[in-house]
Amino acid sequence: MSDPDDGSPRPVSALSHLGSMLVVSMILGVVAAGLVIPFAAVTGLTAGNVADGLEELPDELEAEALPQRTRILAADGTSIATLYAENRVNVSLSQVSKKMRQAIVSIEDYRFYQHGAMDVKGTLRAFVTNQASGETRQGGSSITQQMVKLTLVSQAKTKQERKEATDDTFARKLRELRYAIAFEKKYSKDWILERYLNIAYFGDGVYGIQAAAKHYFSKDASALNLRESATLAGLVKNPNGYGPIDHPDKALDRRNTVLDRMAQLNVIPQKRAEKTSKMPLKLKVTKNNNGCLLARAPFFCDYVVSYLKRDPSLGKTPKQRMNLLKSGGLTIRTTIDLRFQDAADKSVAAHVRQNESAIGALAMIEPGTGAVKALAQSRPMGLDDKLNETTINYTTPKEVGGARGFQAGSTFKVFVLAQAIRQGVSLNTTIDSPAERTFQEADYKNCDGQPYGYGSFSIPNSTTSGPKTLYTGTRESVNTFFMALEQVTGLCAPFRLAKEMGVNLTTPTGPSAERVPTFTLGVADATPLEMAEAYATFAARGLHCDARPVNRIEDANGTLVKKYPSKCTQLFSNAVADAVNDILRGVQEGNGFGAINGLALNQESAGKTGTTNSANSVWFAGYTPNLAAASMIAGVNEGGGPDSLIGKVIGGRTLYSASGSGTAGPMWGDAMHVVQQWLADETFVAPNTSEIQGVSVGIPSLGGMSTDAAKAKLEELGFSVMVGSQVDSSYARGTVAYTSPGAGETGTSGSVVTIYPSDGTPYVPPPPKKNTKPKKNGGDDKPGRGRGRGRR
């Protein structure tokens, strides 16, 4: 670095440093390293034994990197939080305004660029002043000596080292002086001044000139003017006593002292000093936001910190990792989309209020990457129980620093559904599903192939009953249907699949066992993040990606420290996922529970409701091809345990009933209706009928098409095709008159569709019989000799 603008000469020899020290030592009985030491403290010392003592001290102090604050950024680069042990951002001397450099040198060590490690004149002046007053009123420390002391304090690793760095002893001052001499030999004056400006404490929790400029004046250090520079330069001597926020009058007096000193040294004209002295402080304070409590997205921030504390590449222990996060000056680039976060926050706050006896939580994940886009909950982060503040992150599982979760209800049915399809169960498989049914534990096989047990239990339906297929049983969330389907899959495979898809199931057996016959009804606890991650697997066509909140970490210089790429595994085939998606679309379309509650979006979506016994918790997990979200509303008692939502005031109104689609669903829907404008309009892939049996497929209009072409089209859709006898039709002879099932109706893959060719003669109805009213035609596309099906 270059020397300052005034071109002041630089001391050149270590001999002058040592000579200055010895002169003062012998004449005054003083070896100064910041303050004048009373004569009595060094009685009996001679120049010789002082020199010998210096030789025994370490001659070099390694200047470690200064602790710097870490920034956590959203995906678009917006700052959402800062973490620090010391609120500092290092800058080079060239990034500090000239006026700031002049102000600090003028008030702290105006001969900084002329003397060596110790300012002999300053030390003598301080000695005389202090002896005259009988107390320490003036210090003689050079900027180099101050920097050494601050470095020793900053680098102290133990209480003993910190004590040694701050003790008012001769040994400490002697050590500091020796280190100061070493620094002056090794580094330029500009380097020393730069480190001093970065290490100095400026009060109110800010370290270093850049953080101070941002905090007190909301600008960079490079933009500080004379008024602001004098204010900050005045703080270093007594940061707390001269603090401009708590003690503005004292700060103003101290600032003017700095201005007077600058004028006295001819650094600035006297008139300018007088003019500036008449100005107010004009602070423009930017609050210090340390940690996640005041973060832009507190619980997402909490998730980021917990996630990184578990990364062994950032340190051997969680404590070391946290130390790096607080002092490493890192830039953590995360996955959060603040537009999504705002929508989630607004929706959750509208549906579950902070002071209510319930928890509302919502998580959003990008399928195919695992990128977490938003985390929101109704109870804010804080320590005030009376305000229902909490430090528990209800959106994430306990394994990443979150909560135990709440029972997920029928949202777990999809794991049995997906496993059944993997095992080749046809989508049109029909199971009788009565309103209530008694099940035998022996019919549920465990992982060892043995029966779960030998008791019996009864399960009722809460929706519809009767014969159900995989489509209708899922759309209507029929309990007895899924209890029967789980007998086909067994308990082990769906349980394992749920874990692979991101649900933290940790207790398969025991008193609180999760791998039980009622697993499909969602008796296990889960959090919104887990369920959003699981459902994102369906959206990504069977590709499961671990949830992750971080994209990359950079150091203070912008150099890449680590990337956090997607960690994905293809858990099941595209065809299985496509079939699940096709079934779950039924919830969001037609008379599906989501659709009738207004949850459908402007693009294709799918979902599943969840309601637990006694309505302790209600869920809605839904997704588009490019975003998955899970919402949960759970009742809690005064102790924080699960409690029924019924009778509670939720969202400002008393709940007399609660359901996944009608209670949690609107919270999901209100957020997704906002977010959908930023999603690409993608569609689900239709199930492959050659791989999946029983896929529900619409019959196309084939009227007028050649029989061979129509047959090929239907076979392509997965149907078996038969050709019936010719019928009257105005279509050309040999072309298709109609099909059975007809155009617009739905069939299942593998089922038979019959083509009826035209004989080329339009159907002519017989004349009506006398004294009778003519029969009304049953409508177009009736079989037999009616009007040709599909006729235009």
pLDDT (average), residues 608-623: 96
On the 0-12 / 13-18 / 19+ scale of CB atoms within 10 A, 170 is middle
Least-confidence region, from 154-163, 232-241, 284-293: 154-163
pLDDT at 638: 86
Residue pLDDT, tens place only, 363-379? 999 999 999 999 999 99
**Does position 786 have pLDDT exceeding 50, yes or no?**
no
pTM: 0.82
pLDDT (average), residues 725-747: 91
Residue pLDDT, tens place only, 675-692? 999 999 999 999 988 888
pLDDT at 59: 63
Q: How sure is the predictor about 467, in pLDDT bands with cuts at 50, 70 and 90?
A: very high
Residue pLDDT, tens place only, 217-239? 999 999 999 999 999 999 999 99
Write the CB contacts of 578 (distance below 8 Å, at least 6 apart in sequence): 541, 684, 685, 686, 687, 688, 692
Q: With CA atoms as reference, report the closest residue to 89 among 222, 283, 257, 180.
A: 222
On the 0-12 / 13-18 / 19+ scale of CB atoms within 10 A, 407 is buried
pLDDT (average), residues 702-720: 90
Q: How sure is the predictor about 639, in pLDDT bands with cuts at 50, 70 and 90?
A: confident
Q: How sure is the predictor about 698, in pLDDT bands with cuts at 50, 70 and 90?
A: confident
Which residue's entry shows tokens 């009933």?
657
Counting every residue written for the chain, the total comes to: 792
Beta bridge partners of 406: 526
pLDDT at 404: 92
Residue pLDDT, tens place only, 25-46? 543 444 433 333 333 333 333 4
pLDDT at 62: 85
CB 562 within 8 A of CB 669: no
Write the CB contacts of 526 (distance below 8 Å, at least 6 apart in sequence): 397, 405, 406, 407, 408, 411, 412, 503, 504
pLDDT at 789: 30
The Cα 243–Cα 249 span in angstroms is: 9
Q: What is the mean pLDDT of the chain?
A: 88
Residue pLDDT, tens place only, 640-667? 889 999 999 999 999 999 999 999 999 9
pLDDT at 13: 42
Give, as one character, the DSSP assignment of residue 255. Answer: H
Residue pLDDT, tens place only, 482-537? 999 999 999 999 999 999 999 999 999 999 999 999 999 999 999 999 999 999 99
Q: How many helices (H) and strands (E) does the chain have?
A: 24, 26
pLDDT at 57: 54
The Cα 638–Cα 641 span in angstroms is: 7
